[in-house]
């Protein structure tokens, strides 16, 4: 196996984003809508480092739930977004692989927008 180098890293958009634009969170219950599929590899040296920010466009606070890799309660990341918020860090570079999905739902529909990107680490030849 060869050593990893800078060519093994690629910055990518969230897989469900159209051209890298934000994704409006439409659902209010689990399972949420898919926002990203991680790299389809279970190798320890191949993974996605995911960065997600979110904003709330409503006049009331809203709770955003990110389902990290699974839809189980213990895999949820919850953040309360203040009313009319700017972008707030939600996922600060956590890693995931094995084609696991990242899902999102919020306490109010169509007012939260998630933005993000992925650093994909994958062996390339």
Q: How confident is the model at residue 107 (pLDDT cuts 50, 70, 90)?
A: very high
| pLDDT for residue 8 is more than 90 | no
In this structure, what token pair is assigned to residue 92?
């600060």
In this structure, what token pair is assigned to residue 70?
């699974």
Q: Spell out the domains of the chain, with CATH numbers in brackets.
A: 6-121 (2.60.120)
Measured distance CA(71)–CA(54) in Å, rounded: 20
CA distances from 4 to 7, 60, 107 (A): 8, 46, 42
| pLDDT for residue 13 is more than 60 | yes
pLDDT mean over 80-94: 97
| pLDDT for residue 36 is more than 60 | yes
């Amino acid at each position: 196996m060869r050593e990893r180098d800078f060519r093994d890293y690629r910055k990518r958009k969230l897989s469900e984003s159209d051209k890298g634009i934000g994704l409006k969170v439409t659902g209010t219950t689990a399972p949420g809508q898919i926002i990203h599929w991680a790299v389809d590899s279970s190798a320890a040296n191949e993974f996605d480092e995911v960065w997600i920010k979110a904003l709330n466009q409503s006049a009331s606070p809203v709770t955003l739930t990110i389902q990290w890799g699974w839809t189980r309660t213990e895999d949820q990341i919850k953040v309360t977004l203040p009313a009319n918020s700017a972008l707030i860090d939600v996922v600060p570079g956590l890693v995931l692989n094995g084609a696991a999905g990242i899902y999102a739902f919020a306490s109010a529909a169509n007012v939260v927008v998630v933005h993000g990107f992925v650093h994909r680490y994958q062996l390339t030849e």
